[in-house]
């Protein structure tokens, strides 16, 4: 079993597949005669393969956007992008004008810096 390549498969589909396999394992443990052990093991292996397909960088970027967009309220908007140095950058905009650009290593750190800068500029 080799490492799967990242694909463009939807993350929610990959997660749903993994959740289904975990439910199948639980069913096998609770009712060993209802679900064959080999079927549960195959489902678990498939789930692991599916989870390995998830692009961690894309998930981190989505998490950063979720954290920051919860803080920045309309009429302001925010974009979040990775940098070539492994940092995350949030740009807070008022229409087409960039008001602030903030960088941090983690989504939580980015959100905290945005929150702090908004308090200071208020």
pLDDT per residue of the chain (122 residues) written in tens, 0 to 9: 444 454 556 778 888 888 999 999 888 889 888 888 899 899 999 989 888 888 889 889 999 999 999 999 999 999 999 999 999 999 999 988 999 999 999 999 999 999 998 888 76
Q: Tell me the HSE value of 22 on the side-chain side, using a 13 A CA sphere.
A: 9
Cβ contacts of residue 51 below 8 Å, gap of 6+? 14, 15, 18
Do 88 and 110 meet the contact criterion of CB atoms below 8 Å apart?
yes
Between CA 94 and CA 77 the distance in angstroms is 6
Note the pLDDT of residue 3: 44
Structural domain boundaries in the chain: 11-54, 60-121
Note the pLDDT of residue 2: 45
Q: In what order do the strands lie in the sheet with 97-104?
A: 76-82, 88-94, 97-104
Note the pLDDT of residue 11: 79
Between CA 89 and CA 102 the distance in angstroms is 6
Q: CATH assignment of 60-121?
A: 3.30.160.40
């Amino acid at each position: 079993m080799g490492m799967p390549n990242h694909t463009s498969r939807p993350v929610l589909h990959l997660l749903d597949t993994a959740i289904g396999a975990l439910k199948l394992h639980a069913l096998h443990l609770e009712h060993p005669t209802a679900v064959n052990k080999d079927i549960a093991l195959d489902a678990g292996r498939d789930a692991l393969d599916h989870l390995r397909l998830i692009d961690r960088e894309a998930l981190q970027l989505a998490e950063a956007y979720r954290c920051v967009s919860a803080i920045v309220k309309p009429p302001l908007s925010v974009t979040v992008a990775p940098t070539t140095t492994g940092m995350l950058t949030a740009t807070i905009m008022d229409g087409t004008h960039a008001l602030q650009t903030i960088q941090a290593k983690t989504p939580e750190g980015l959100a905290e810096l945005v929150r702090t800068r908004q308090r200071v500029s208020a």
